[in-house]
Structures are given as structure tokens and as C-alpha cells.
Amino acid sequence: MTMNLFVYKTYEELSRHAADQVIQSVVDKPEAVLCMATGSTPILTYSYVSAFAKQNRVDFSRVHFISLDEWVGVPRTNAGSCYAFLHASLFAPLVIRNDHIHFFNTEADDLVFECKRIDAKIIELGGIDFMLLGVGMNGHIGFNEPGVSRKLNAHVIELDEVTCTVGQKYFSEETKLKNGITLGLAQIMKSRKILLLATGSDKQDIIRKTLEGKISNDVPASFIRKHPNGYVLLDLSAAGELTIGL
């Protein structure tokens, strides 16, 4: 299997390359539909994207953003929500119109309807062009937790214990995390291009399982290896002792 694997010496270098890819996707298709993960990993990528776009007047005015995932029970006004993170790191600096941001509203009464609304929006926009993903310590992508069906579109999921524990790092005070809402693996696999980023030695083990283990829903991130236009970008510490592609 050919694997589009790139290993960079530093987090900065990885982030520059990831940012270049985001920018390029918009230069190639100014009405691109993007779907971006939140979390610690892409922070620097997004700050490079915003700075570069401003400096070089890259036009993001026709771009649409689709929500990847959100914590259920955490309002958008909470700085730890995925919405607040992306608003601060991309939507505000890139001046994205509200009607080009299609985000799960976890305060809606009917979350199943919310899932259907986002499923329909993806179809209406002609599919996702570019997805940037991180990988959880348990191998999740978005909130597709270990064991999830490959066939699902957007859905509400009970979060894995690891996700609830690790997730505390995004919040200024202890926050009850139980359920998440996420695009499904079916939608992730249909997106036209995927970049999966991992940095830091904490991710070594899960990256080894993702790239060298069996492709299975035990490690949802492993499906990236089946995507025809999937790229994995690592820094040296996340790559660890990988034997492939180096």
C-alpha cells in the first residue's frame, strides 16, 4: 500500500506545510468546503493560515466551513467548545461570514435532527473538499471513537473515557463531558482530501497502531490508509520508531 506519509523535524515545520496545504486548497478552489479539527495539534497551523491569508490577500470569502465535531452540553460561548476554538483561530481572523459556517448546534432540542441538518448541508454544498484531522490518544478522528461503525454519517456518540479525561485540557475549569456529536467515518472517507496531523511523543503509540496495525474500527484513524488522497504529517517525536515510509 502506498502511504502518503511525511515526517518533519519540528512542530513548526509540520505546521507550515499543513498551512500551505490549507491555503493551496482555497487557491485551487475559492469556493472550497473545508472541515477542520480543533485541539492542540493544529493551533500553529491555523495561526500560519490566518497570517498568510491576511498578508497575501488569499480570498476566503467564498469558502464554507463544516463542523467536524462538538461536545454535547458545552455551549458555544464556552472557550473550550470546538466552535469557540475555530472562531478564535480561523473564522474571526479570516472574516468568515456566519452563513458560511455550518456548525453542530449542541443546544438544539433534537440532536438527531442536527445530524441530519449537517448531513444535508454537506450534500447541498457538493461534499467536503479538504479535511484536516488530529488523532486522539485512543485513535479517534473527529469523535469517532474506537468501535464506531464505518458506515455512519453524522451522529451522537457516547465519548470514550480517554476522550473525556484528555478533553479536560481544553477547559479552564473541570467540565462534565459525556457525549459528542461528530461527522461519521463515511463522510470523512468521502472527503476529497484528508490531512491527518500528529505531533509530540505522547502520540507515538497510537501513530504506530494507526499506520502499522490492522486497519479496523478499533483504531478509527487507521482508515486514513484506505483514503486515496489521504496524507499523514508527523513530527519526529510522533513518528518515534515507525519503520514504514522513513
114 is catalytic: no
Nine-digit cell string for 130: 479538504
Q: Does 134 bind ligand F6R (CB under 6 A)?
A: yes
Q: Does 141 bind ligand F6R (CB under 6 A)?
A: yes
For the beta carbon of residue 162, count every other beta carbon within 10 angstroms: 15
Q: Which of 32, 45, 212, 235 is nearest to 132 (CA)?
A: 45
Task: Provide the CA 143 distance to its chain's centre, in angstroms.
Answer: 9
C-alpha angle 142-107-185 in degrees, rounded to nearest 5: 20
Binding residue (CB under 6 A) for ligand F6R from 5, 14, 32, 37: 37
109 is catalytic: no
Q: Does 39 bind ligand F6R (CB under 6 A)?
A: yes
Binding residue (CB under 6 A) for ligand F6R from 68, 74, 96, 207: 68
The one catalytic residue among 64, 138, 144, 227: 138
Q: Which range in 17-25, 54-62, 100-108, 134-142 contacts ligand F6R by CB under 6 A?
A: 134-142
Q: Does 38 bind ligand F6R (CB under 6 A)?
A: yes
Scanning residues 165 to 204, which ones bind ligand F6R (CB under 6 A)?
none
Measured distance CA(19)–CA(7) in Å, rounded: 15
C-alpha angle 223-192-203 in degrees, rounded to nearest 5: 40
Helices (H), 29-110: 43-55, 82-86
Q: Do the Cβ atoms of 238 and 246 come closer than 8 Å?
A: no
Q: Does 40 bind ligand F6R (CB under 6 A)?
A: yes
The one catalytic residue among 69, 114, 160, 235: 69
The one catalytic residue among 70, 145, 160, 235: 145
140 is catalytic: yes
Q: Do the Cβ atoms of 82 and 71 come closer than 8 Å?
A: yes
User: Measured from the CB of residue 154, what is the shortest distance to ligand F6R in angstroms?
Assistant: 13
69 is catalytic: yes
Which positions are catalytic? 69, 138, 140, 145
- For ligand F6R, the binding residues (CB under 6 A) are 37-41, 68-69, 82, 134-136, 140-142
